């Protein structure tokens, strides 16, 4: 029986090479898309799922206003909640950034960029498996360090690391453990040090200083609500009440005016994808992209399955005789169904194999796109692949098989079956679905394109062309003062200015595109403004061509400019609601500041974000700003740029920082990175757009071919009766135009709704106009006509006699 | 073997009701060779299809080998068909995508005959019908007469109790048509039961009994003299 099936199957493949290839290709592209989505999905979902504590370790997320959640907490709350809430088993403070430092061992230097500063129970929260040492004694004291296997390899080679002494930040540390970093987590440290105790102790009085990440381990995961309430209570009693008292208000009044901290608990298992905060140490999973991608790839797969079903049922008409004969010589319906499902199974298997090849070949690009290192393995993945296979057989196989097995044997054998209208409504329905999906993609990708274009062409308010941004590590430590930092910076600045080609040098405490590093709120006439701090050296704003709207730039000519002068941007001015802001005194963080100028709004975040109110000071005006000085901006003669950069690097590695690599970028390039994820989404959408349109057009082509073939006799009769070619063409095309319009109308609402949702990501966005819809409709209609007309034109050229004599 | 009593078939469309068969009664015994003749639309093909279990009747009774077929479930009909009935068509109805060998093999496959036995049977019947050298060819590569032989081989491979032939010579020239008729006569002589629908008086003359139909009723039954002996013996 199998041999017989295979014979028929291979015969059809041989005689319908084009359609078979296109069918298999369509399916395999659809499956490949889904595989990509699954790989991404599996990867994102695997974060922290291995952790046995995932449900009873919680991140304290503090809600500062209706939309802002901070992942950081203040230092005293940890022990306070442990004391007041017996449900809390323990707490662990961690640093919210990886430290990037050099670790010394004898004469060896290894730079490690994922150093986590934590408390000693870190490994009880994240129980990585230990190769040397153990979890309990991983960080017993402040002189301990536990390192990952990779780092151990780099530092000590094949030697045992346990007990060895290394130097980090001028401190001698003893290696207490080596762990395997083989599982994904929101913390993936190359090594962990126990410096957090000191930092917590130093700021134990500062209730309002939210600077560390706090994790709580509860005895029972169901207690999170009680603990949340207790946290709120602790903040209220220790922070709100004293502050209200200091202002001479009742706590209720105080909260009404200044807001309050609302703590929430997020279990570790959901932090990666669903946290409301800006994320812990690793960037958050992009849940939206994940959903978009999964949704679109499923849509593409459905499209390719519909395509397959459509052409399979259309093709089945040609095989009616075979089916009829089989039934007459004794095949039961079940056997016919089995035969056709078998064919689908073989096609599906082929498609899956080809899709695996496609995936394997394009995985490197995909990994670059997602900034991940996905691979095609894991039993979970192959299980999912098997499920896809089964679903495809069910979705793509059963319908055509049942359809075929229900052929009326008598009609088939009398020979007038080919023109029967059996199942035609369903094929047309599927065709309309394809049109709708194609319209969705054409319109959608055009809108996405428009938005990205809009962001690209936006006047960002500065000009970063040919300006170098050099990453400057600055100097820190107990004994280093703000003056030391300023002195060192000025030294570097003078050295840089001496290099040939360098025109201007100026320091800054921000990177355009990344937003401000610190936010300090100030009040003016009962108006609260969350000012984003931009610390600058003289000349920086001029260098970046950030324009002044009112007043003047900061200048060394005015002595007060390094004491109290402050610049704000237009957004801040609007909030201040002052007609004449120049010379106004502001109480800024306990000091008196005087507004001397207003700058034109410029983007410090990505161009889709709203521009926040900005506060600009010279480094010297706010002494601790010097600790934010991590960028030195340089303009140079473009003609000698390569040589100038080489000279700067030479100076840098010799005199400024010999340990760390010299890192720089051009400001405009760097800025583009701030919205690269949206550019990627656009590219993804465009790629899928092409795929979808290709699949849909092929489906249309196949269906038009079959249905025109069915109508060949009618065409022949019309022609003998004197119909002209163009009348025939209209006759053949009009139903497809009709379907095309219906499909387009069906797509209208979903595309409008979903794309509007997507555009909500952007404060600075386009409104959806008629234009993309017009473009989409025109494109869809002209592609449809192109395909159908080409088929129809061929049909009208055929030899009339052939079809009239037939039968 | 076949007993039909008051069999009727009514085709209904929205406006018209057509009596394709009105209360036909007929008996066919084992070993009979019966021809049905009549003009187009007389109901002869409908009758053949009902006997072949391809179509269902509107009323009356049809017993095949003592078992009532009217109202039988599709599955049992299919079983009765594949075990008892072999078909020969005017347009051969071979599967173009399968070789001659595969075409003849089909009924055996669906009757679950083991593969070794299948091969033996096919080779035997191909030898009998003189198409042994054509087994690897595809239907389109054969002449009409050869195609019809393949169809006959397929109809016979399962040793059916009755062979139904629907204008078996309709698509053949007289030489090939003659060959096919001689083949059927030989089969009959070897004991097969055959029911044939035909337009041709010449073809009908090969059979023992000719039934003439018009407008859904049997006008006359006529015995062909030269075959009367066979009819008598088969009645025993």
- Which of B95, B109, B158 is facing A325, going by the closest CB pair? B95
Sign of the four-CA dihedral A571, A574, A578, A579:
positive
Quick one: A116 and A235 in the same domain? yes
List, for residues B142-172, the tens digit of each pLDDT value.
Answer: 988 889 889 989 988 888 889 999 888 888 8
**Residues of chain A positioned with their CB less than 8 A from the CB of B109:** 1, 4
* Residue A603 falls inside a structural domain: yes
**Are both A92 and A26 inside the same structural domain?**
no
Q: Which residues of A touch B (CB under 8 A)?
A: 1, 4, 7-8, 11-12, 15, 321-322, 324-333, 335, 409-410, 413, 415
- The answer to whether A12 contacts B98, with C-beta atoms less than 8 Å apart, is no
| CA closest to A2 among chain B residues | B109
| Chain A, nearest residue to B164 by Cα | A328
Those residues with Cβ within 8 angstroms of residue A293's Cβ, 6 or more apart along the chain or in another chain: A36, A37, A40, A684
Q: According to the model, what pLDDT value does residue A541 have?
A: 93
From B74, B83, B89, residue closest to A413, measured CB to CB:
B89
Confidence of residue A246 (pLDDT cuts 50, 70, 90): confident
Name the strand (E) or helix (H) holding A777.
Answer: helix A771-796
Tell whether A511 and A629 lie within a shared domain.
yes
Asked if residue A76 and residue A117 are part of one domain, the reply reads yes
pLDDT tier for residue A420 given thresholds of 50, 70 and 90: low
Smallest Cβ–Cβ distance between A330 and the set B52, B78, B93 belongs to B78
Please identify, among A388, A405, A422, the residue that sits at the C-terminal boundary of a domain. A422
Interface predicted TM-score of the whole assembly (ipTM), two decimals:
0.77
* Token code pair at residue A715: 């065409």
CA-based nearest residue to A359, from A376, A371, A346: A376
Nearest CA in chain A to B98: A8
Of B96, B98, B109, the CB nearest to A1: B109
3-state secondary structure of B41: coil
Asked whether residue A257 is domain-assigned, the answer is yes
Instruction: Search chain A and give the residue with CA nearest B49.
Output: A410
Question: Which range among A334-338, A751-755, B70-74, B168-172 has the greatest average pLDDT?
Answer: A751-755
Digit-coded pLDDT (tens) for A654-670: 888 877 888 899 998 88
* Dist. CA A367–CA A186, nearest whole Å: 19
> Does residue A279 carry a pLDDT above 80?
no
- A448-461 per-position pLDDT tens digit: 899 988 888 888 88
Smallest CA–CA distance from B105 into chain A, residue: A4
Contacts of A562-565 spanning 24+ positions with Cβ under 8 A: A562/A618, A562/A620, A562/A621, A563/A620, A563/A621, A564/A591, A564/A592, A564/A593, A564/A594, A564/A621, A565/A593, A565/A594, A565/A596, A565/A617, A565/A618, A565/A621
pLDDT band with cut points at 50, 70 and 90 for residue B34: very high
Per the rule left: phi > 0, alpha: psi between -120 and 50, beta: everything else, B146 is alpha
Closest residue to B95, CB basis, from A322, A335, A409: A322
**Count of the separate structural domains present in chain A:** 3
Best of A322, A327, A329 to disrupt the B interface (most B CBs within 10 Å) is: A329
Distances (CA, A) of A556 to A496, A561, A599, A618: 19, 7, 18, 10
Least confident span in A119-123, A418-422, A591-595, A793-797? A418-422
- Dihedral pair phi/psi, residue A551, rounded to 5°: 75, -140
Does pLDDT of A477 surpass 90?
A: no
Note whether B11 contacts A: Cβ–Cβ < 8 A: no
CB-CB under 8 Å, A409 with B106: no
Residue B52: per-residue pLDDT: 87
Per mean pLDDT, which range of A47-51, A465-469, A719-723, B205-209 is the poorest?
Answer: A719-723
What is the C-alpha to C-alpha distance for residues A689 and A676, in angstroms, rounded to an integer?
19
B141-148 contacts, C-beta under 8 A, 24 or more apart: B142/B100, B143/B176, B144/B92, B144/B171, B144/B172, B144/B173, B144/B176, B145/B172, B145/B175, B145/B176, B145/B177, B145/B179, B145/B180, B147/B92, B147/B94, B148/B88, B148/B92, B148/B172, B148/B176, B148/B180
Interface of B with A in 138-177 (CB under 8 A): 154, 158
Q: Which of residues 25-64 of B touch A (CB under 8 A)?
A: 49, 52, 54-55
Over pLDDT 70: what percentage of chain A? 97
Residues 6+ apart with CB under 8 A from A355: A27, A28, A29, A30, A31, A32, A35
List CB contacts (< 8 A) between B105 and chain A. Answer: 4
* A330·B87 Cβ contact <8 A: no
Q: Are residues A143 and A114 in the same domain?
A: yes
Residue of A nearest to B115 (CA): A1
Same domain flag for A102 and A21: no
Residues A335, A268 within the same domain: no
- Indicate the residue among A274, A296, A324 that finishes a domain: A274
Residues A51 and A84 in one domain: no
Which among A626, A659, A692 is the end of a domain? A659
* A vs B: CB pairs below 8 A: 70
- Per-residue pLDDT tens for B192-232? 899 999 988 888 888 989 999 988 888 888 887 654 444 44
Residue of B74, B93, B95 lying closest to A413 (CB–CB): B93
**Residue at A710 is within a domain:** no
Verify that A265 and A378 share a domain, yes or no.
no
* Residue A168 within any structural domain of the chain: yes
Average pLDDT over residues A213-231: 89
Chain B CB contacts of A20 below 8 Å: none
pLDDT of residue A521: 80
Contact A489, A626 (CB under 8 A): yes
| pTM, two decimal places | 0.78
Instruction: Tell which wins on pLDDT, A448 or A795.
Output: A448
Categorize the per-residue pLDDT at A423 as very low, low, confident or very high, splitting at 50, 70 and 90: low
- Provide the pLDDT for residue B231: 44
Chain B residue numbers with beta carbons less than 8 Å from the beta carbon of A326 are 95, 106, 110
Contacts of residue B110 in chain A, CB cutoff 8 Å? 326, 329-332, 335
| pLDDT exceeds 80 at position A40 | yes
Task: Work out the average pLDDT over A280-305.
Answer: 84
Q: How far is A308 from chain B (nearest CA, A)?
A: 21
Percent of chain A's residues with pLDDT above 90: 23
Position B195 scores a pLDDT of: 93
Q: What is the pLDDT of residue B226?
A: 55
Three-state DSSP class for residue A413: helix
Q: Is the pLDDT of residue A596 over 90?
A: yes
Q: Is residue A670 part of a domain?
A: no
Instruction: Closest CB to B102: pick one of A7, A15, A333.
Output: A7
- pLDDT of res. B236: 39
User: Which of B54, B99, B105 is closest, CB to CB, to A409?
Assistant: B54
One domain for residues A34 and A86: no
Asked if the Cβ–Cβ distance from B97 to A322 is below 8 Å, we say yes
The pLDDT tens digits for A144-200 are 899 999 889 888 888 888 888 898 888 889 999 999 888 888 888 899 998 888 888
The stretch B111-137 carries a mean pLDDT of 89
Nearest CA in chain B to A409: B54
Which residues of chain B are within 8 Å of residue A12 when distances are taken between CB atoms?
97
Q: Which residues of A touch B96 (CB under 8 A)?
A: 321-322
Identify whether A721 is part of a domain: no
Residues A40 and A73 in one domain: no
Q: Is residue A523 part of a domain?
A: yes
For residue A559, what are the domain limits?
474-659
Residue A791 lies in a domain: no
- Calculate mean pLDDT across residues A389-401: 89
Decide if A7 and B98 are in contact by the 8 Å CB cutoff.
yes
Note the pLDDT tens digit of each residue in A516-539.
888 888 888 777 788 889 999 999
pLDDT score for A415: 60
Task: Tell which of A328, A342, A413 to mutate to test the B interface (max B CBs under 10 Å).
Answer: A328
Question: To the nearest whole number, what is the mean pLDDT of chain A?
Answer: 86
Do residue A367 and residue A355 come from a single domain?
A: yes
Distance, in Å, from the CA atom of B57 to the CA atom of B42, rounded to the nearest integer, reads: 16
């Amino acid at each position: 029986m199998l041999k017989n099936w295979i014979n028929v199957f291979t015969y059809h493949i041989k005689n319908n090479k084009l359609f078979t290839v296109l069918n298999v290709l369509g399916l395999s592209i659809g499956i490949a898309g889904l595989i990509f989505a699954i790989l991404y999905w599996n990867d994102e979902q695997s974060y922290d799922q291995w952790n046995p504590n995932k449900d009873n370790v919680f991140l304290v997320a503090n809600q500062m206003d209706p939309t802002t959640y901070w992942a950081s907490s203040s230092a005293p709350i940890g022990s306070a909640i442990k004391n007041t809430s017996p449900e809390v088993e323990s707490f662990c403070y961690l640093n919210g950034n990886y430290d990037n430092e050099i670790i010394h061992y004898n004469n060896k230097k290894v730079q490690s960029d994922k150093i986590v500063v934590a408390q000693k129970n870190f490994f009880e929260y994240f129980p990585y498996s230990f190769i040397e040492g153990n979890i309990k004694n991983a960080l017993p004291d402040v002189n301990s360090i536990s390192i990952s296997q990779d780092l151990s390899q780099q530092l000590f080679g094949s030697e045992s690391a346990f007990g060895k002494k290394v130097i980090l930040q001028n401190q001698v540390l003893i290696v207490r453990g080596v762990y395997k970093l083989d599982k994904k987590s929101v913390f993936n440290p190359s090594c962990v040090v126990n410096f957090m105790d000191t930092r917590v102790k130093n700021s134990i009085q500062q209730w309002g200083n939210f600077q560390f990440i706090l994790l709580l381990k509860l005895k029972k995961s169901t207690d999170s609500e009680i603990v949340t309430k207790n946290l709120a209570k602790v903040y209220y009693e220790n922070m709100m009440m004293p502050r209200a008292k200091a202002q001479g208000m009742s706590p209720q009044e105080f909260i009404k005016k200044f807001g309050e901290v609302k703590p929430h608990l997020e279990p570790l298992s959901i932090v990666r994808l669903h946290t409301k905060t800006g994320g812990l140490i690793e960037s958050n999973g992009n849940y939206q992209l994940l959903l978009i991608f999964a949704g679109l790839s499923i849509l593409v797969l459905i499209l390719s399955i519909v395509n397959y079903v459509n052409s399979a049922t259309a093709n089945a008409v040609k095989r009616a005789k075979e089916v009829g004969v089989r039934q007459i010589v004794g095949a039961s319906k079940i056997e016919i169904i089995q035969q056709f499902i078998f064919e689908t199974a073989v096609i599906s298997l082929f498609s899956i194999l080809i899709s695996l090849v496609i995936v394997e070949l394009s995985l490197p690009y995909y990994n670059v796109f997602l900034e991940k290192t996905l691979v095609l393995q894991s039993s979970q993945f192959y299980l999912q692949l098997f499920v896809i296979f089964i679903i495809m057989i069910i979705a793509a196989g059963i319908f055509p098989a049942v359809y075929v097995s229900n052929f009326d044997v008598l009609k088939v054998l009398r020979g007038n079956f080919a023109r029967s209208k059996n199942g035609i409504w369903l094929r047309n329905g599927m065709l309309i679905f394809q049109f709708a999906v194609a319209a969705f993609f054409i319109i959608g990708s055009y809108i996405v394109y428009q938005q990205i274009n809009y962001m690209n062409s936006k006047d960002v308010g500065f000009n970063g062309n040919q300006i170098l941004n050099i990453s400057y590590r600055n100097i820190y430590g107990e004994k280093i003062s703000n003056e030391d930092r300023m002195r060192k910076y000025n030294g570097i600045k003078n050295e840089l200015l001496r290099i040939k080609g360098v025109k201007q040098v100026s320091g800054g405490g921000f990177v355009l595109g990344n937003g401000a590093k610190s936010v300090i709120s100030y009040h003016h006439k009962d108006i609260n403004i969350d000012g984003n701090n931009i610390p600058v050296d003289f000349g920086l704003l001029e260098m970046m061509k950030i324009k002044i709207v009112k007043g003047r730039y900061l200048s060394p000519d005015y002595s007060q400019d390094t004491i109290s002068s402050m610049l704000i941007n237009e957004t801040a001015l609007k909030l201040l609601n002052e007609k004449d802001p120049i010379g106004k005194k502001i109480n800024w963080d306990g000091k008196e500041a005087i507004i001397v100028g207003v700058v034109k709004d410029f983007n410090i975040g990505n161009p889709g974000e709203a521009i926040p109110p900005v506060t600009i000071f010279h480094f010297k005006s706010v002494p601790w700003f010097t600790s934010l000085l991590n960028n030195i901006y340089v303009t140079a003669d473009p003609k000698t740029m390569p040589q100038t950069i080489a000279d700067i690097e030479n100076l840098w590695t010799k005199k400024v920082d010999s340990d760390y690599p010299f890192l720089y970028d051009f400001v405009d390039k760097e800025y583009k990175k701030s919205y690269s994820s949206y550019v990627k989404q656009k590219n993804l959408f465009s790629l899928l757009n092409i795929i979808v349109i290709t699949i849909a057009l092929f489906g249309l082509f196949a269906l038009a071919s079959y249905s025109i073939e069915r109508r060949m006799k009618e065409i022949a009769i019309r022609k003998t009766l004197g119909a002209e070619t163009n009348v025939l063409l209209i006759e053949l095309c009009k139903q497809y135009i009709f379907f095309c319009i219906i499909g387009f109308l069906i797509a209208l609402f979903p595309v409008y709704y979903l794309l509007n949702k997507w555009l909500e990501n952007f404060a600075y966005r386009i409104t959806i106009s008629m234009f993309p819809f017009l473009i989409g409709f025109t494109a869809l209609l002209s592609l449809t006509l192109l395909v159908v007309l080409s088929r129809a034109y061929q049909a009208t050229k055929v030899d009339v006699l052939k079809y009239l004599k037939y039968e | 073997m076949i007993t039909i009593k008051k069999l009727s078939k009514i085709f209904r469309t929205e406006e018209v009701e057509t009596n394709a068969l009105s209360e036909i009664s007929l008996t066919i015994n084992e070993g009979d060779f019966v021809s049905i003749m009549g003009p187009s639309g007389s109901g002869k093909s409908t009758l053949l299809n009902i006997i072949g279990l391809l179509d269902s009747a509107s009323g009356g009774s049809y017993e095949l080998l003592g078992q009532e077929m009217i109202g039988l479930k599709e599955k049992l009909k299919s079983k009765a068909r594949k075990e008892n009935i072999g078909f020969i068509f005017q347009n051969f109805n071979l599967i173009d995508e399968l070789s001659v060998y595969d075409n003849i093999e089909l009924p055996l496959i669906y009757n679950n005959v083991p593969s070794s036995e299948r091969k033996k049977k096919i080779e035997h019947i191909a030898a009998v019908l003189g198409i042994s050298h054509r087994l690897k060819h595809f239907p389109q590569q054969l002449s009409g007469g050869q195609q019809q032989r393949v169809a006959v081989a397929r109809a016979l491979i399962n040793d059916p109790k009755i062979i139904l032939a629907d204008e078996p010579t309709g698509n053949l020239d007289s030489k090939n048509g003659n060959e096919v008729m001689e083949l059927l006569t030989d089969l009959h002589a070897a004991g097969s039961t055959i029911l044939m629908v035909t337009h041709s008086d010449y073809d009908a003359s090969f059979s023992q009994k000719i039934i003439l139909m018009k407008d859904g009723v049997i006008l006359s039954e006529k015995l062909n003299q030269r075959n009367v002996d066979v009819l008598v013996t088969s009645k025993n």
